[in-house]
Structure 1
Amino acid sequence: MTTLLTDSDYARAEQMLFPHRARRVPGTVLTPQWFADGARFWYRIGTRYVAVDPDAKTRGAAFDHDALAAALSVAAGQAVTGDDLPILAVDIRSDDTVLFSAFGRNWKWADGACTESQTATTIPGGILSPDERYVAFRRDGNIWVQNRADGTEHALTEDAEPYFDYGGLPGTTGARALTRALGLPPPMILHWSPDSTRILVAHIDQREVPELVLVESSPADGGRPVEHRTRYTMPGENTVATMTWNVLDVEQRTIVRQQTEPTPIMHNVALVYAWWSGKDVHFLHQSRDARTLELRRLDPSTGAVSTLITEAGETRVDPTVLLGDPHMVRVLDTGEIVWWSQRDGWGHLYLYSADGAQVSRITAGPWLVSSLLWVDEKDRQLYFTANGLIEADPYLRQLCRIGLDGNGFTRLTDDHLDHDTVSPPQGGYLVDRASSPSQPPHTAVLDGEGRVVVELEAPDTEDLKILGWQPPERFRATAADGKTPIYGLLWRPHDLDPDRTYPIIEHIYPGPQLYRAGPMFNPPHYGEPEAFAALGFAVVAIDGRGSAGRSKAFHDHSYGDLGNAGALDDHIAAIRELGQQYPWLDTARVGITGQSAGAFAAARAVLLYPDFYSVAVAISGNHDNALNLAMWAEHYHGDVSAEGKAAISNVTLAANLKGKLLLIHGELDDNAHPYMTMRLADALIKADKDFDLIMIPGAEHSLIGWLHYSLRRTWDYFVRHLHGSEPPGYRLQPLLLPSLG
């Protein structure tokens, strides 16, 4: 018997979504902001700002909230309270000055007074120097600095031109539509020297890169459609954006340019993986096909470049476990180099001599180092997190320490919690966030022995449980090969009746650059599976072979077979195994949904396995990877021949459609551009298949501003076609971005 859903069910589901859930469990997202001295940090929790001094073992208000509110009320002429400060872009300085924006104006709080701020620190997107004397910013593609003391400005570069400028991002991954949607300036990436005298910045050349044109059909002014042009390289195309590094002297206003040929830039991580080591510059260089990774040194006084370490492989040579994670290279004061590598099939740390000629192993074993936190050079110890030390779940991160000589391996945590740990740039202590799918993060400052120095936050889930929320079950299943263990999460439908059967929705993101169903409290896409559970669906998220976070062989399962989308056959095997364990799971009614690469996988599932998946909703999907950003196919598939590109396109499978398919895309998506969805639609029409399509005018890849509409249409689609009842007509409220904390 099908139970009709009501407005109350939809309202309960709405409260499961990320911004509402975050408010009910404040403290699950705690991001330390290090003061310039590096010894202290501050963070936001709800609407409060907290400062922590690990040396003094103290935690308290970062500033007097009530006093700031009173002063702001007078200065702005609008009443505010300390319990609900309407402040944005908050920057708390080491001298206890607070800079922020409120009511469309920029403010400075210092010495008990709140005044409007006209200094460079208010320039959107500006980056403060370590000594807090200067702010660097972009103007017309050039790099400028402004003196905080007197507000004077001067240019450090003057030769920028369209598509050949400094400090920006390549158009392929520049997220210009997203920054427009959020009202933010285009992102800027540069690196201040520790002594605040110089800036390392990339000069990016996109002049010869082919254009991609998106059309905004319904501009806010109601005028003619507006075209948005960007430079975008697709797989196998000859021309790609290139970059060179430049060192800008702030006082002398000189430029030292990289004295080697420009190198291809396939992703933004190339701009992040560069740093100052004392007075030297080091950066990671990856070949276009990602099969070679090098550590290079740039002499900031001459621009000469030397290669210190080279590693090559038959598939990708990754610098991290997950794409975009902080790199795991440290150049020590001795000149020695700590280097992370998967050369033994896992992911371990090695110690190289200063010239790169000699190497010794630091860590070893059938597990991997997932983050390098802190190298204590005085005691020659390093601190890191590791996956795979707990047999029951290889994704659980544990905090560890080891000597640089490979001796003295010590686990500082010994539990079944996931430890998401960070450290300030100079080390000295650790901020540990320990959680599980059922336990919100318990955050504390730890010392080098793993002992608690300062307790920070320990939220509970009582306010969520009142709404019917229950944590997902962490499960282990067997992959389609009949031997490899794989892992996932299962959310039970609210008010579960074991005598009934429930349709299943798989919430998928197959990577391969990350993993989806981690064993932490806030896995990626949290809130959406909980909402489906509130609507009476059972929900699963699964990490099959080909996704990241485990061995090199496990990850490489998708290399050359990216069309398999994280081993969809593994996902089917896991769902069937769960169905045998829980009779209330109806494995004859299985739907699937995802966004971006998850949308590719959702559509592919209903096309490749039409007798198992009967309903799919694919949002912002890269359905034809022959048209997607070049990095995706070239790094993660490896074959960009005509046959290779056809194997990673859903278009070729259009004739297989049997079930229900809803495609949703934003017309201004400059990441997975909408033409990929239209190519799939074209193929479905030519195959005379019925499907549903929603193109959202003005929307970008993340659908910021339209999430409530996209989610509601997704819910309605599954309720109608998988649940078997008519949606109640409920309308979701617009969703704001989740607050930090």
Structure 2
Amino acid sequence: MTTGHAGFDRFIEGVGELVTDGTVVPAWSPDGKSLAFLDGTAEERTGQLVDLESGRSGPLVADVTALRDAVRAATGQTPAGKGLPFDHIGFAGARQLAAAVGSVQVTVDLDSGEVAEVPAERPLDVHLEFADSLRRTPKEFLRTVPLVDPAKARELASPQGDAFISTVDGNIVLRSVADNRAVPLTTDGTPEHEYRFDLVDPALAVLGLAFAVCNWSPDGSRLAVHRVDNRGVHQSPQIHHLKREDEVVHRYHGQAGGRLERTTLHVLDRYGRAPVELDLGDTTDTYPVHAAWLPDSAQLVVFVLSRDCRRAEVLLADATTGKTRRLFSEEGETFLRIHHDVYFGRKIGLFATPDGTRLLWLSERSGWKHLYLYDLDGTPIRQLTEGEWPVDYVHRVDDDHVYFTAHLDQTRPYDVHLARVPLAGGPVERLSDQPGVHRMMFAPTGEVLIDTWSTPAEGPRSVLRRADGSLVCELSAADTSQLDWTPPRQFTATAADGETELWGVMFFPADFDETKQYPLVEYVYGGPQIAVAPHSSDGFYTKKVLALAQLGYVTFVVDGRGTPGRSKAFHDVVFRDWTAGLAPDHAAVVRQLKERHTFLSEAKVGVVGGSWGGYTAFHLAAERPDIYTAAVSFAPGFDPYSSVLYECYLGFPQTDRDAYRKAELFPLATQLSSEFLLACGTIDHATWTDSIKMCEALIRAGKEHEFVVLPEQPHGFDAVHDSYFWRKVAAFFRAHLQEGNR
């Protein structure tokens, strides 16, 4: 596949159409005996039905033509394509599927092949929201998210499915499925002093920040919520220009060393008892989080992290009285948790066993992230995992084992494998063996799991395993036969310290020719909360970096020191020195790539990055103009004083002045000699001011640069503006990297 400079977004869309299968969206039968899933393109979709006990699999529907005829007879609609006429399925019974054909709901009997149309609900019932489907479907609401704009979310269902919760004007609202009526559970909330509950939005889930939501008690009678007091917190202006009159909105945005919102934890009773505030003492400058309900719905486990992320405390709270007792704590010389994980994702590394008698704790006290087991008195029982490799995260705990992902193979440190370890102690059992990034999805019974994995050059593949890792059957493998490309290559290079191994991935144009010369473009991030080099085919950055390559470049991504996923020492390079691993490591990688590859020996080099990647891109260009000819920073977080997100790594401006001074970027404007393009959305209140300040610094320094303004765009751009932005990037790199270079 090839693309012109205007085809960047079309290429990204096209990859998804050309690479099919490999990733399974499961439908588990209610009797726990079967797994069904769809495969293939919309034109020729197939389906599989797997017997979970025997592992035997076969076509979901034996006669697709007969099924399509039955659908036509039942609904009066002629399905598009030639395969199964459904894009998603579920089970309505042990041997009955539920699906949709256009707007019509149908059921399919797997034994007889009979298709029945589900009677449409009365339009008046739908209009008045009496319809059963509306009452049982979670509705959208606007959810407040720290530092960023309110985001659309869906109501959270109770464990029994008889109620939903949302927030309205700072209060918690409960909606009953029985009559669709909504009633407030709190009435004293305001936008300034509001109640919230935890959810993970899809974007964070993609980044791996998924967690078990701890809101409803197991019996559905109580809710764990938190209340945020924003009084005195810095507010950033957001100006909307596209209406007849300008509109100014202010967003709370805590700054480094400034007032942090104060959070308290509460338990609400859905049957009318008074709310209970948990006794946590003064929660100023802390991050308290509900961690887990115990099975009796009478007690909660609470996690409290200090504002500098160097002390964590675990408490047990009584849901009726609010009284708490400390179980255990941990202190570190550097940060104990990644700030984004706790602040946005509630990924806190604390889990209760199903019987509620023990707790699992993730700690890097040994220099590697490992699992430790405690009892409910706070007494350590045993260390469950050990070795010079880190646990990634826990995904399931049953009565006997902890199931987790880990970087078990340090010869390939960014591969993620499935593993389990007995709660009673014993060796770690590795459940996956193929190289790549694996992820697990358990059946509701916990007896089997879907193992899906890929590498940058190999599409996803899914198999079904028993809980002990034994193979049940193959499920689906990616079909890449229509993808005309030069596969990406993983590579290693040596960091600037001369000894640490760094890992990255290179991407190539589809018509790549080793005998030619190519400009080199680095897609960079460099922030301390995620490793971004895409070591799987569905990595968050894979498609954009691959699409950049189709513009005629060799592109690469590498994770330098100061990023997570390796040892604690590797990550701690960023502690109180934001730029320690940036220019030295990334410049060293570029130099090594050019030395070892003749197709790069004379290459001009560009760099592009967004958010903290925008910081890194500018820093690399300013510090190493001998390496980087042109740089692009979009939605850039330039100013370390502007956000609480820096505090866990740099400390506070009042006490760690040198760390902040070393991280300042605006003074580097005077030494910029590389070509530079800056882009930002006008309502990105987190970084618009940073962009304006950098523009001013460059003007005063007499430095030519381009500034792409994206009206009414927040930190992420919509499709139209994103396409426009990448066209500007393509033209910028074409002018400064390609002309006269090939």
Is the TM-score greater than 0.5? yes
Match of 1:536 in 2: 552
Query: Equivalents in 1 of 2:238, 2:34: separation in Å?
Result: 46
Match of 1:567 in 2: 582
Query: Equivalents in 1 of 2:48, 2:268: separation in Å?
Result: 36
Which of 433, 438, 459 pairs up with 2:452? 433
Report whether the alignment pairs 1:335 with 2:341. no
Normalising by structure 2, report the TM-score: 0.83
Report whether the alignment pairs 1:113 with 2:119. yes
Match of 1:149 in 2: 178
Alpha carbons of structure 1 residues 22 and 174: separation in structure 2 relative to 1, 3 Å: closer
Which of 185, 190, 210 pairs up with 1:161? 190
Report whether the alignment pairs 1:603 with 2:618. yes
Contact 1:144 1:154 in 2 (8 A): yes
Alpha carbons of structure 1 residues 91 and 409: separation in structure 2 relative to 1, 3 Å: closer
Contact 1:66 1:81 in 2 (8 A): no
Query: Equivalents in 2 of 1:365, 1:572: separation in Å?
Result: 32
Report whether the alignment pairs 1:385 with 2:385. no
SS of 2:717's equivalent in the other structure is: coil
Alpha carbons of structure 1 residues 509 and 40: separation in structure 2 relative to 1, 3 Å: farther
Query: Equivalents in 1 of 2:650, 2:415: separation in Å?
Result: 27
Which of 180, 195, 203 pairs up with 2:219? 195
Query: Equivalents in 2 of 1:88, 1:31: separation in Å?
Result: 11
Contact 2:86 2:99 in 1 (8 A): no
Deviation of 1:370 (Å): 0.9
Match of 1:633 in 2: 646
Report whether the alignment pairs 1:447 with 2:472. no
- Superposition pairs of residues 25-174 of structure 1, within 5 angstroms: 25-27=19-21, 54=52, 112-115=118-121, 116=126, 117-119=133-135, 121-124=137-140, 125-167=154-196
Deviation of 1:453 (Å): 3.1
Report whether the alignment pairs 1:508 with 2:541. no
Match of 2:242 in 1: 218
Query: Equivalents in 2 of 1:674, 1:615: separation in Å?
Result: 22
Match of 1:669 in 2: 684
Deviation of 1:301 (Å): 1.4
Farther-moved stretch of structure 1 (422-431 vs 149-158): 422-431
Deviation of 1:15 (Å): 4.3
Contact 1:67 1:112 in 2 (8 A): no
Query: Equivalents in 1 of 2:647, 2:740: separation in Å?
Result: 44
The residue type equivalent to 1:636 in the other structure is Y
Match of 1:679 in 2: 693
Deviation of 1:295 (Å): 2.0
Contact 2:300 2:316 in 1 (8 A): yes
Deviation of 1:587 (Å): 5.3
Report whether the alignment pairs 1:648 with 2:663. yes
Cα deviations by residue, 1:301-334 (Å, 9 ceiling, x for unpaired): 1112222221111110027997748444322226
Which of 685, 688, 713 pairs up with 2:702? 688
Match of 1:10 in 2: 5
Alpha carbons of structure 1 residues 8 and 411: separation in structure 2 relative to 1, 3 Å: closer
Match of 1:496 in 2: 512
Report whether the alignment pairs 1:296 with 2:315. yes
Alpha carbons of structure 1 residues 501 and 81: separation in structure 2 relative to 1, 3 Å: closer
Deviation of 1:98 (Å): 6.9
Farther-moved stretch of structure 1 (446-455 vs 226-235): 446-455
Contact 1:329 1:340 in 2 (8 A): yes
Farther-moved stretch of structure 1 (191-200 vs 450-459): 450-459
Overall identity of the aligned pairs, in %: 28
**Number of aligned residue pairs:** 686
Cα deviations by residue, 1:567-603 (Å, 9 ceiling, x for unpaired): 3311111221121211111455110001111111111
The residue type equivalent to 2:220 in the other structure is S
Match of 2:230 in 1: 206
Alpha carbons of structure 1 residues 68 and 476: separation in structure 2 relative to 1, 3 Å: farther
Contact 1:129 1:135 in 2 (8 A): yes
Report whether the alignment pairs 1:24 with 2:18. yes
Query: Equivalents in 1 of 2:676, 2:429: separation in Å?
Result: 51
Contact 2:489 2:506 in 1 (8 A): yes
Alpha carbons of structure 1 residues 14 and 360: separation in structure 2 relative to 1, 3 Å: same
User: Structure 2: where are the runs of 5+ without partners?
Assistant: 108-115, 127-132, 141-153, 205-211
Contact 1:575 1:587 in 2 (8 A): no
The residue type equivalent to 1:609 in the other structure is R
Farther-moved stretch of structure 1 (480-489 vs 364-373): 364-373
The residue type equivalent to 1:698 in the other structure is E
SS of 1:722's equivalent in the other structure is: helix
Query: Equivalents in 2 of 1:482, 1:195: separation in Å?
Result: 57
SS of 1:144's equivalent in the other structure is: strand
Cα deviations by residue, 1:629-672 (Å, 9 ceiling, x for unpaired): 21x210122252444323223211001111110000001114x3
Contact 1:592 1:617 in 2 (8 A): yes
Contact 1:322 1:548 in 2 (8 A): no
Alpha carbons of structure 1 residues 322 and 202: separation in structure 2 relative to 1, 3 Å: closer
Alpha carbons of structure 1 residues 595 and 107: separation in structure 2 relative to 1, 3 Å: farther
Query: Equivalents in 1 of 2:87, 2:135: separation in Å?
Result: 17
SS of 1:613's equivalent in the other structure is: coil
Query: Equivalents in 2 of 1:492, 1:286: separation in Å?
Result: 44
SS of 2:584's equivalent in the other structure is: helix
Farther-moved stretch of structure 1 (419-428 vs 154-163): 419-428
Alpha carbons of structure 1 residues 53 and 511: separation in structure 2 relative to 1, 3 Å: farther
Cα deviations by residue, 1:81-126 (Å, 9 ceiling, x for unpaired): 59899999999888989799998xx999997233344425252121
Deviation of 1:675 (Å): 0.4
User: Structure 1: where are the runs of 5+ without partners?
Assistant: 1-5, 180-187, 727-741
Contact 2:587 2:624 in 1 (8 A): no
Match of 1:353 in 2: 375
Farther-moved stretch of structure 1 (583-592 vs 224-233): 583-592
The residue type equivalent to 2:706 in the other structure is D
Deviation of 1:551 (Å): 0.1
Contact 2:328 2:378 in 1 (8 A): yes
Contact 1:59 1:454 in 2 (8 A): no
Query: Equivalents in 1 of 2:626, 2:499: separation in Å?
Result: 24
Contact 2:27 2:90 in 1 (8 A): no
Report whether the alignment pairs 1:423 with 2:423. no
Query: Equivalents in 2 of 1:276, 1:81: separation in Å?
Result: 49
Report whether the alignment pairs 1:394 with 2:413. yes
Deviation of 1:80 (Å): 7.1
Contact 2:303 2:312 in 1 (8 A): yes
The residue type equivalent to 2:184 in the other structure is A
Alpha carbons of structure 1 residues 419 and 648: separation in structure 2 relative to 1, 3 Å: same
Deviation of 1:375 (Å): 2.6
Query: Equivalents in 1 of 2:695, 2:31: separation in Å?
Result: 55
Report whether the alignment pairs 1:376 with 2:398. yes
Contact 1:397 1:418 in 2 (8 A): yes
Deviation of 1:437 (Å): 1.3
Cα deviations by residue, 1:452-502 (Å, 9 ceiling, x for unpaired): 33543311222222xxx2221011111111111111001123322333211
Contact 2:371 2:385 in 1 (8 A): yes
Normalising by structure 1, report the TM-score: 0.83
Report whether the alignment pairs 1:517 with 2:533. yes
Match of 1:738 in 2: none
Query: Equivalents in 2 of 1:213, 1:69: separation in Å?
Result: 54
Report whether the alignment pairs 1:240 with 2:260. yes
Contact 2:518 2:603 in 1 (8 A): no
Deviation of 1:14 (Å): 4.2
Deviation of 1:289 (Å): 0.7
SS of 1:202's equivalent in the other structure is: strand
Alpha carbons of structure 1 residues 151 and 94: separation in structure 2 relative to 1, 3 Å: farther
Query: Equivalents in 2 of 1:33, 1:276: separation in Å?
Result: 29
Which of 265, 277, 284 pairs up with 1:257? 277
